[in-house]
């Protein structure tokens, strides 16, 4: 991913695209948290993503997810990151289902069809981990496969380390598990820009963070769908600030503890990576070198490719994942 282009993409969006039916009423959860819920009409006629959403309650908030495929199939938990949602996996779900797997694809709180607290302080690294744990407990998902990218990896790897019987196999792509140290100039620049840009256009971000293909306008609108206006973007705004890149960040001690578990992790662990990603592309070998379960696994790198490899190289990523699982 070209960081300069990435920044230009965000800065060029001075105003949001025209929004139809975007008025959202602020509601209050039974825990006293104010939130908004993206109107369902925003998700009408999504390109290649016509799955019926399901919902569960976590901490008084509605969390959306897609659950498709055979109930008898091996379950795969597909976790997105910033500022995407389950739509990111639209190119991977059909081949996985055709191969006999069950795909469980949640929208993290603050993203997709899930409820979006309006106060940025409602979002923390620990809270995201807690929300995901509660979601998994509610739907009863265990002994599954984890595939996670970006913040999906930061959250999913924590859950894996803290609940070690939750996943039988782990595969990750372009993510990290920071422990209070800088992860590079690319992320530092993104952090700065994410807090100063006037409007977050998720569609433009995805377009400029891919290298192997051009997104259609309909696909970009799919990424824009959850965010009709700034009131829906508190989670997306907050996520970059939560990455534990200094000793004072929340999550440092918990991530150190997670690395202690991963340093002993013997279950199969696969990395599928786009090394040209200027933000996280360089973190690949840390997992390959440290995790015992990664030894001898068919790790793959994809070039060209950017940060969002599920969209950039979706067919290649899912083919490698299926081959590894079968």
Active site residues: 150, 277, 307
Q: How far is the CA of 138 from the CAs of 25, 80, 135, 225, 282, in angstroms? A: 27, 19, 5, 26, 36
Q: What are the DSSP calls for 271-298, one per residue? A: EEE-TT-TTTGGGHHHHHHH-GGGTT--
DSSP-derived letter for residue 230 is G
Q: In what order do the strands lie in the sheet with 27-28?
A: 27-28, 34-36, 116-117
In 3D, which of 188, 191, 285, 169 has the Cα closest to residue 239? 191
Residue 222: enclosing H or E segment and its boundaries? Answer: helix 217-224
Angle between the N-to-C axes of helices 185-196 and 234-242, in degrees from 0 to 180, rounded to the nearest 10: 150
CA distance 185 to 306: 16
* Rg of the chain taking only CA atoms, in angstroms: 18
**Cβ(42)–Cβ(67) below 8 Å:** no
Closest CA to 273 of 234, 306, 244: 306
CA separation for the pair 18, 2 (Å, rounded): 27
Contact (CB, 8 A) for 250 and 174: no
Q: With residue 185 as reference, give the H or E element that holds it.
A: helix 185-196
Q: Two tokens at 78? A: 């597909």
Residue keyed to tokens 């975007």:
22
């Amino acid at each position: 991913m070209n960081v300069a282009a990435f920044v230009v993409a965000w800065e060029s969006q001075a105003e949001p695209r025209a929004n139809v039916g975007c008025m959202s009423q602020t509601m209050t959860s039974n825990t006293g948290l104010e939130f908004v819920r993206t109107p369902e009409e925003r998700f009408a006629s999504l390109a290649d993503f016509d799955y019926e959403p399901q919902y569960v309650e976590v901490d008084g908030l509605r969390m959306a997810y897609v659950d498709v495929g055979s109930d008898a199939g091996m379950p795969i938990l597909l976790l997105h990151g910033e500022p995407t949602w389950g739509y990111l996996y639209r190119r991977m779900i059909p081949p996985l289902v055709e191969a006999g797997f069950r795909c469980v694809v949640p929208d993290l709180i603050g993203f997709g069809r899930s409820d979006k607290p309006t106060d940025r302080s409602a979002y923390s690294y620990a809270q995201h981990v807690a929300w995901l744990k509660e979601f998994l407990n509610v739907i009863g998902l265990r002994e599954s496969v984890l595939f996670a990218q970006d913040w999906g990896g930061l959250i999913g790897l924590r859950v894996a380390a803290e609940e070690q019987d939750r996943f039988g196999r782990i595969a990750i792509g372009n993510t990290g598990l920071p422990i209070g140290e800088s992860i590079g100039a690319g992320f530092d620049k993104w952090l700065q820009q994410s807090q100063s840009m006037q409007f977050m256009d998720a569609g433009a971000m995805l377009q400029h963070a891919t290298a192997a293909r051009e997104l259609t306008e309909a696909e970009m609108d799919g990424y824009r769908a959850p965010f009709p206006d700034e009131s829906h973007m508190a989670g997306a705004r907050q996520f970059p600030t939560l990455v534990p890149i200094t000793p004072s960040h929340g999550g440092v001690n918990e991530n150190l503890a997670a690395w202690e578990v991963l340093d002993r992790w013997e279950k199969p662990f696969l990395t599928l990576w786009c090394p040209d990603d200027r933000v996280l592309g360089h973190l690949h070998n840390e997992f390959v070198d440290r995790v015992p379960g990664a030894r001898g696994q068919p790790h793959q790198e994809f070039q060209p490719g950017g940060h969002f490899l599920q969209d950039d190289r979706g067919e290649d990523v899912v083919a490698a994942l299926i081959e590894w699982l079968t």
